[in-house]
Structure 1
Amino acid sequence: MASVEELTQRLRTFADERDWGQFHTPKNLVMAAAGEMGELVAEFQWLTPEQSAAVMEDPEAGGRVRAELGDVVIYLTRLADVLGVDLVQAALDKLEHSAKRYPVESSRGSAAKAPHDQPPAP
């Protein structure tokens, strides 16, 4: 299994060989990632919850989902590299923060937002 570091280096080399660094500005990479996420969303748009859970069982649909996930990861990894962000550490930091905001005892089985995420009552 490849590591995030290996993927980052391969993407950097891929972009450098093509002189694409000039186009890989944070703004462009964010927009590209958002576009690819939209394409991933489109694969699930009209599926039932049951169909979405089984999407990878369909070779054609599963292949499209896998490709779109790849595109999203590529752009996020490239963005993190360009910005000098350790993507794994950023995710771990966010997970730690979320664990504090959503303690097990008050969050288990609930999809409710954390109290401070709710707009104040009028």
Structure 2
Amino acid sequence: MIDRQPCVYILASAPYGTLYIGVTSNLLGRLYEHRTSEIKGFTSRYHVHRLMRFELFDTMEGAIEREKQLKRWHRQCKINLIETDNPHWVDLAVPLGFDPVPPRGRRNGP
């Protein structure tokens, strides 16, 4: 089960939208925190809640090293990585038991 295993994950606000890379030992718990905006910060401010990719590791050290590597990559390399296994930008959190994130409409006015 992936709920208690070191993991690097990539979230997006929408296809080709704002990206976020994180590391955790509890993917399901961390996704819940992101999707409910339980923790205020970047992902809640920019509505980055869709799981685009995750990689599981045997150790937290390996996961942290991979996270650092991915964060150094240019944006297009991150997009290419996502599209390697998820070309249609499907929210991978839905098959893990989460509700789909509703689409965000554009706000009118200031």
Shorter-chain TM-score: what band? under 0.3
More strand by share: 2
In our comparison, the structure showing a higher alpha carbon Rg is 1
Q: What's the TM-score once normalised by structure 2's chain length?
A: 0.25
